[in-house]
Amino acid sequence: MRKINQCIKETHIRFLRMAIWFEFMLTVLLITLLFPGSQYLYANPDAYPVNVTAESPSPPVPEKNPASPEAGPEGGEEKPSVDTEKPAAETEKPVPETGKPAPPPPKQEEETPASDPKDQAEASKPIFRGSTQAGKLVALTFDDGPYAGWTAEYLKTLEAYQVPATFFLVGTRVEKYPGIAQKIAEQGFEVGSHSYRHAKLTLEKLEIIQEDFRKTALAFSNIQVEIKLFRPPYGAYNDLVTGTADRYHQKSVGWNVDPRDWDTHDPQKIVNRVLSHVSDGSIILLHEGRKSTLEALPQIIRGLQEKGYRLVTVSQLIEAGETGEETSPQSPVDSEQTNFGQDNT
């Protein structure tokens, strides 16, 4: 009798355990199927979101195989994008005139290099990207400076060929190297703003954007340099960005030839990318602080001149595009820089 009672008790315990386990599994199943957001527990993590909003971007296009026949110039080069920019990598040590390597500048914050199409779709005012109405005029532009050692070498090359250029400088670097920034302007080259800290301003609120412009204006004011041009970092802009630039009387400027000099150490690739994509009224995007870009610069200048192009500043290109007439030649030493004495916030 005792054995029978013990057997019944053990059977009852097993039944209770099975019931509890069944109830737990049923609860998990119901939560998985019915709880909002639980689909992420079993959704495909690689699937691109569909119909999230009416402005959802299209799925990202896979990068081309460098060996693909559809690649850009030189058989293996990707065609330069007109809307991409990445800050120059600061891994190369600049070599100043003394022959001793200068200490590398602090690393700038990294951001996504490509400008978001949504950023530009939201902007009602397009930025200036060159003009075919300017004829055989093109503008060389250099971003992300100034740099200790490197900037002086860029200026030497430009002066040797007696060609103008436009430098879009970062405010924090102007504060760090005020003498170099001032030298660019004093030698007659055009200077524009590339924001204060090279942040993607389309991700910021209006107050932050205005503060960025205010600090940049102050940095240039301290070296008595007026800025009338603004290039948004990464080419990303919207109404808040271009509107703030307008308040500071700065023309927003982009580019339409990007040789992607930041992703190669081969000067010849940079040269070929520029010369194969340049056209009337082009704005060419290059970066400071890179040995490969510096080595490519003489060939770029000679190649453009051999194609019949004349190099001008961005302001001259804007003027020529509006009038449809080529501007008169200008030596870098002829231009003037005046005080920027107002804070327009």
Q: Cis check for the bond before 146: say yes or no (omega within 30 of 0).
A: yes
The least confident of 52-56, 61-65, 108-112, 315-319 is 52-56
Pick from 31-35, 203-207, 334-338: least confident: 334-338
* 159/15 same-domain check: no
289 and 152 assigned to the same domain: yes
- Whether 297 is covered by a domain: the verdict is yes
Query: pLDDT at residue 208 above 90?
Result: yes
82 within a domain of the structure (yes/no): no
Residue 250 domain-assigned (yes or no): yes
Average pLDDT for 327-335: 40
Q: What is the pLDDT of residue 25?
A: 83
Shared domain for 263 and 123, answered yes or no, is yes
Structurally, the chain folds into a number of domains equal to 2
| Catalytic residue flag (residue 143) | yes
The β-bridge relationship of strands 283-287 and 310-312 is unpaired
| CA dihedral (257, 69, 112, 86) positive or negative | negative
Residue 309 or 63, more confident: 309
Based on the domain organization, do 151 and 293 belong to the same domain?
yes
Distances (CA, A) of 63 to 70, 188, 217, 312: 11, 41, 39, 34
Number of other CB atoms surrounding residue 224 within 10 Å: 14
pLDDT at 34: 57
Burial 191-212 (b: 16+ CB within 10 A, else e): bbbbbbbbbbbbeeeeeebbeb
Residue 269, classified by CB atoms within 10 Å of its CB into exposed (0-12), middle (13-18) or buried (19+), is buried
Q: Are 315 and 322 in contact (CB under 8 A)?
A: no
Residue 315's domain is classified under what CATH number?
A: 3.20.20.370
Please state, in angstroms and rounded to a whole number, the distance separating the CA atoms of residues 297 and 294: 5
Residue 276 · residue 299 · CB < 8 Å = no
Question: Is 60's pLDDT higher than 70?
Answer: no
Does residue 96 fall inside a structural domain? no
Taking only the tens place, the pLDDT of each residue in 2-45 is 778 777 878 878 888 888 888 888 877 776 655 444 333 333 33
- pLDDT tens for each residue of 86-113: 544 343 444 444 444 444 444 443 333 4
Looking at the domain assignment, is residue 201 inside a domain?
yes
Give the model's pLDDT for residue 59. 37
Query: Are 142 and 11 in a shared domain?
Result: no
- More reliable by pLDDT, 25 or 226: 226
- What per-residue confidence (pLDDT) applies to 26? 80
* pTM for this entry: 0.62
Average pLDDT, the chain: 76
Q: What percent of the chain has pLDDT over 90?
A: 56
Average pLDDT of the residues in 132-136: 94
pLDDT of residue 73: 33
42 found inside a domain: no
Q: Identify the pLDDT of residue 295.
A: 97
Domain assignment of residue 293, yes or no: yes
Which pLDDT score is estimated for 290?
A: 96
First to last CA, the chain: 96
Among residues 143, 144, 212, 261, the one annotated as catalytic is 143
- pLDDT of amino acid 32: 60
Which tokens go with 289?
A: 């602080």
pLDDT score for 79:
35
Residue 165: inside a domain, yes or no?
A: yes
Query: Are 160 and 12 in the same domain?
Result: no
Residues 155 and 251 placed together within one structural domain of the fold: yes
Contact 288, 149 (CB under 8 A): no
Q: Are residues 222 and 327 in the same domain?
A: yes
Least confident of 92-96, 156-160, 291-295: 92-96
222 and 325 together in one domain: yes
Place of tokens 């900037």: 151
Average pLDDT value for residue range 290-315: 97
**Structural domain range at position 7:** 2-31
* pLDDT beyond 50 at 56: no
